[in-house]
Structure 1
């Protein structure tokens, strides 16, 4: 079988056309490649000679997408809307944790709706660079928003009192500040897409565009995972050294709040660890001028699905572990049970009268 012309960095570099090169100062200076020119990169499934590997990877991602769209999307939307309804009805008595979880619920619903862009996989969405940039911006706003909200929810749950007094005093302002940080982080990341000079050029699109500069993946990892992980580790270290929170009985009785916060934190850490490892792997391949293999493309697609499925799990965890949502669910089940019993009793009595 002939060797693939795009397989490794050196071979890819030699196959670049002359417009992709620039000359250093001096008449005899060697040519060098523009590190921000990503015209050489393509999806492995569109150019790999390993046809069997391409078919196998596309079969796997197609089945996973079908399961996600059929199961996770409806479950995420139903539980998310139910939780949001509970928060809106009880808005007059919402605490800080309730407001943070409400913000996380809205973010989860938006993530689920944006994730419908993967419904056509293994085929990628065909759009313009501008449309792809808008999709990437919205997806990244939700990505950073969820991460920052999850980090902030640790404060009222584990360090109440003076440690979270500013958050307790102005919860709406706190949510606005978190949203502002998420928008700014998303703007920084989207500015590294490198497609602003050709906004109407047709391209294959996903939430993290393949043709983005390698800095895109690195900065997204730094702002959305590494920084948040470091701050959470520092918070947990501070939490272990703080003994005052154990003194008050109401804080000892807040175990239910801590359970939902810890469950959300564990779910997000697991999904985002897998996602960010795949993201860094793709950045490494770009830096090596290598498009990777169909297996690399499959891993990135699965990581994107795992990141979308994170929202579904967060909504279910909030419904089952957060007390107001749990009580509302039990109340709904109780009302439906009573109506079913009343209907069955009426039918039995009517059958007796007719007999």
Structure 2
């Protein structure tokens, strides 16, 4: 009897098998839909898509250099588009830094995290202010001696307002702690301020300028979006950046509200916040590609480079010995003897 009592029961083996299978199922589901899996998948997808933006930036840089060499005085609209592309390239490079360190949770000091966020806000706000200048020139068509058509004054104004907005956001966000660093602090006042100052205010100004341009066209029967080539580029790029920025700002506000309720985000919610950051940065890559495809000088440069690459890749035709016959040439020369009668 003692032996029967100490021997394992059949149900114990079934219970052990059930527990092992449950553990395997849980681990499989965690590895498939867990935070690390979501973050790594977003890293791979964004890294692949960002390469298109980098390639487009190379072609854009080559095209702008050629146009600057060919023309001593470049049009003001082209200068604004070039400045916008440079800012979007900087934003794309900053995003690649985040991608490279995201697998290690982007751990840094509080000062380093604040500087990272401040730099991104400054660059992104500067690019939106350049779009505001572009909307002003396209809709109002100011004269060449206007104040907002001088490069030095425009550069000072864009940098000044961008730094002021970024400093205000840094003050609202407060000091950053030494923990996992996101692009922006998960704070509800900060999220609301960023939505208003960085996203809504520049686009409200752009919308007001476009409406004023419509009214101006209706009164004077002039051309709306005076640069016919730059108009579609401005509208498309501005719309893409607005969608990406608004989507990220709303996601940041939602994460801040959840953290305020529960004092801490879950690992899966933090992973999805990383995905929303990549969506925000994806607007820069898409913008560079769209400028390359829609802007006529850049598009012509791309076609010329593709033609050169096709010519270089063509195989030289094989020599045909039957047709390599040198045609005889007859040279006629007049001498003094021929000229004499």
- Shift, 1:81, TM fit: 2.9
Whether 2:55 is the aligned partner of 1:81: answer: no
Whether 2:295 is the aligned partner of 1:322: answer: yes
- Shift, 1:118, TM fit: 2.6
In the alignment, the residues of structure 1 paired with residue 219 and residue 61 of structure 2 have an alpha-carbon distance, to the nearest angstrom, of 30
- Shift, 1:309, TM fit: 0.9
- Shift, 1:189, TM fit: 1.3
Q: Give secondary structure in 1 for the equivalent of 2:242.
A: helix
Q: State how 1:149-298 maps to structure 2 within 5 Å.
A: 149-161=130-142, 165-168=146-149, 170-195=150-175, 202-210=178-186, 213-243=187-217, 247-248=221-222, 254-298=227-271
Aligned length: 292
Q: Give secondary structure in 1 for the equivalent of 2:180.
A: strand
In the alignment, the residues of structure 1 paired with residue 264 and residue 308 of structure 2 have an alpha-carbon distance, to the nearest angstrom, of 57
- Shift, 1:261, TM fit: 0.6
Report if the CA contact (8 A) 1:157-1:261 is conserved.
no
Report if the CA contact (8 A) 2:141-2:226 is conserved.
no
- Shift, 1:220, TM fit: 1.4
> Among residues 34, 58, 61, which one is paired with 1:56 in the alignment?
34
Asked which structure has the greater CA Rg, the reply is 2
Counterpart of 2:21?
A: none
Q: Give secondary structure in 1 for the equivalent of 2:173.
A: coil
> Among residues 94, 103, 106, which one is paired with 1:114 in the alignment?
94
Whether 2:33 is the aligned partner of 1:72: answer: no
Q: Give secondary structure in 2 for the equivalent of 1:87.
A: helix
- Shift, 1:277, TM fit: 0.7
- Shift, 1:306, TM fit: 0.9
In the alignment, the residues of structure 2 paired with residue 332 and residue 208 of structure 1 have an alpha-carbon distance, to the nearest angstrom, of 40
In the alignment, the residues of structure 2 paired with residue 352 and residue 137 of structure 1 have an alpha-carbon distance, to the nearest angstrom, of 72
- Shift, 1:323, TM fit: 1.5
Q: Give secondary structure in 1 for the equivalent of 2:162.
A: helix
In the alignment, the residues of structure 1 paired with residue 182 and residue 79 of structure 2 have an alpha-carbon distance, to the nearest angstrom, of 31
In the alignment, the residues of structure 1 paired with residue 181 and residue 31 of structure 2 have an alpha-carbon distance, to the nearest angstrom, of 22
TM-score, normalization by structure 1: 0.73
- Shift, 1:269, TM fit: 1.3
> Among residues 318, 323, 339, which one is paired with 1:348 in the alignment?
318
CA distance change for structure 1 residues 63 and 286 in 2, over 3 Å: closer, same or farther?
A: closer
- Shift, 1:271, TM fit: 0.7
In the alignment, the residues of structure 1 paired with residue 137 and residue 89 of structure 2 have an alpha-carbon distance, to the nearest angstrom, of 24
CA distance change for structure 1 residues 352 and 175 in 2, over 3 Å: closer, same or farther?
A: farther
- Shift, 1:268, TM fit: 0.7
Across the aligned residues of Structure 1 and Structure 2, the Cα RMSD in angstroms comes to: 3.0
TM-score, normalization by structure 2: 0.75
Counterpart of 1:134?
A: 115
In the alignment, the residues of structure 2 paired with residue 234 and residue 135 of structure 1 have an alpha-carbon distance, to the nearest angstrom, of 32
Instruction: Give unpaired runs (5+ residues) of structure 1.
Output: 1-50
> Among residues 78, 88, 95, which one is paired with 2:75 in the alignment?
95
- Shift, 1:140, TM fit: 1.1
Q: State how 1:303-314 maps to structure 2 within 5 Å.
A: 303-314=276-287
